[in-house]
Structure 1
């Protein structure tokens, strides 16, 4: 039987890991909340973002955190262009077409990454990759502590943006009633593209926070997006607060399962939680009924 201090440390480390899951889920839940579709290319775009961070570090010696002012706007523009000029026109207003396009986009991105970077597992070494904070008997990865604060800050900024800015209010209006929003002069196609761009920008932040402590390979996004989808369902589709709370909850579940069942079975608790939520509370913690 493990001592209480070990269990508490596992819970706290789960909070740190869960904050990264929450950040990845933020973009996914925002896109669902406005476009009402699941973006199957989410994981592939995350993998591409991680390779971008890795490449900038290797070729220009840029620290992952220093890269944020570069890659966040870059990924926003990429997301905007993809939605405005590929997904939007190609869907012809049909949700099932959007699902097929994003799935195809995911396959294309992963294969391009595979052609460029091969299947090798790569990592980024920084001065703080293995640094830790000591708090009494507990030891925490410095990079993951930074990730926790960055995730909470990103979620808070996104909430303020949606609540206080004109563009944010337009996004909320489109998510509630697309036809009504268009009748009052809101450019729905532009708002769709902005939303998709913001989702990709969240992935850029996630990539910068992941690289100091995670490996990267062309299909890594698939593993993260499965967890992120569970977070979105748990927190409630379209809920930013739900994504943050759900991510932290899932991180704790994974950490405790890894402690008691072994590292290889750590994620079994995530998918058991997913099934239970679908059975007993399909709207999630903060989701609204249709």
Structure 2
């Protein structure tokens, strides 16, 4: 009888583990979108267009948030410079584009530059604070770094908005809706990079080291993992993620030195929604927030859609503070 009970409990536990937390969220999103589409009182063409636009935008949001959640998961710090680093990457792409390089080639070149920038920042400014267990120090350093980047860009490029011409004209028809090619390319590029990063973390020695440090830095150190090197590589990867996102967004985003700050706030919301430190959570959260923002704009135009975004943020904090894929800390 005891064995049978144990088997039953084990089966129940296994089935619970197999239930992906994103499944009920996906179901709820589908139901809400169906209600909005059929009985929401808006033209179905507009709703369909908003859904497609939200998914495309959410893919880029996810890539920005992946870098933020990776840095938090390994280093245990919230990178307040994430938005400023995104802006820096966009201006690097802008500078290379004005020099005559195609925007997507400029994006590829910006990735190693931002990767090295992230490694240098971590190695020179943050490693001692992180290893020493300081919580306030890294926050102040990243906040100061954000201000420094914004003001340097303001001095070099000025405050007038800049623009990069889209390398591909035209649009793609998706189920009766229209999506511009730059936005489609941005979504596909973000998806490829996010999946590739997840594969690196799951199937490579570097990924094993990063996951070991994220799980238990002292234990990883005891088995020979160079903690400082992993910290620097992780911050570099986070910077490289925003370089890809920034480059992909440049053709349809007006550039100002403070343009990245709005994405910082949204990235925090997405990371909390998905779960701090979860790559999959950042991907799912990015898509959800993208949909909330664009579909919500049909009913609350302008900045009103952000009210719905923050409503989702507060609701998640209330119902599941650790996020969809996060563990309790």
| Residues 71-150 of structure 1 aligned to structure 2 (within 5 Å) | 71-89=110-128, 92-128=132-168, 131-150=170-189
Structure 1 residue 272 corresponds to structure 2 residue 314 = no
Deviations 1:37-57 (A, max 9, x none): 100111111111111000000
CA 1:96–1:121: 2 relative to 1, 3 Å: same
1:216 is matched with which residue?
255
2:24 is matched with which residue?
none
Alpha-carbon distance between aligned partners in 2 of 1:66 and 1:113, rounded to the nearest angstrom: 22
Runs of 4+ aligned structure 1 residues displaced above 3 Å come to 89-93
Look up the SS of the partner of 1:267 in the other structure: helix
- Do the aligned partners of 2:167 and 2:251 also contact (CA within 8 Å) in 1? no
Structure with the greater relative contact order (CA < 8 A, sep ≥ 6): 1 or 2? 1
Look up the SS of the partner of 2:172 in the other structure: strand
User: TM-score w.r.t. structure 1 length?
Assistant: 0.96
| Residues 160-239 of structure 1 aligned to structure 2 (within 5 Å) | 160-239=199-278
Structure 1 residue 251 corresponds to structure 2 residue 309 = no
Structure 1 residue 63 corresponds to structure 2 residue 117 = no
CA displacement at 1:137 relative to structure 2: 2.1
Structure 2: stretches of 5+ with no match in the other structure: 1-40
Match of 2:323 among 275, 279, 284: 284
Q: Which has the larger radius of gyration?
A: 2
Alpha-carbon distance between aligned partners in 2 of 1:50 and 1:6, rounded to the nearest angstrom: 30
Alpha-carbon distance between aligned partners in 2 of 1:70 and 1:97, rounded to the nearest angstrom: 32
Structure 1 residue 49 corresponds to structure 2 residue 89 = yes
Alpha-carbon distance between aligned partners in 2 of 1:255 and 1:211, rounded to the nearest angstrom: 19
Alpha-carbon distance between aligned partners in 2 of 1:153 and 1:127, rounded to the nearest angstrom: 20
Structure 1 residue 12 corresponds to structure 2 residue 87 = no
Alpha-carbon distance between aligned partners in 2 of 1:161 and 1:169, rounded to the nearest angstrom: 9
Structure 1 residue 155 corresponds to structure 2 residue 224 = no
Deviations 1:173-232 (A, max 9, x none): 000001000000000011000000000000110111110111111111110110011000
Deviations 1:80-121 (A, max 9, x none): 111011222356541211111111111111111111111111
Alpha-carbon distance between aligned partners in 2 of 1:288 and 1:181, rounded to the nearest angstrom: 20
Count of residues in Structure 1 that have an aligned counterpart in Structure 2: 288
Structure 1: stretches of 5+ with no match in the other structure: none
**More moved, 72-81 vs 262-271:** 262-271
Alpha-carbon distance between aligned partners in 2 of 1:251 and 1:64, rounded to the nearest angstrom: 24
CA displacement at 1:142 relative to structure 2: 1.0
- Do the aligned partners of 1:63 and 1:126 also contact (CA within 8 Å) in 2? no
Look up the SS of the partner of 2:252 in the other structure: coil
**More moved, 71-80 vs 171-180:** 71-80
2:34 is matched with which residue?
none
Alpha-carbon distance between aligned partners in 2 of 1:126 and 1:255, rounded to the nearest angstrom: 22
Alpha-carbon distance between aligned partners in 2 of 1:219 and 1:46, rounded to the nearest angstrom: 10
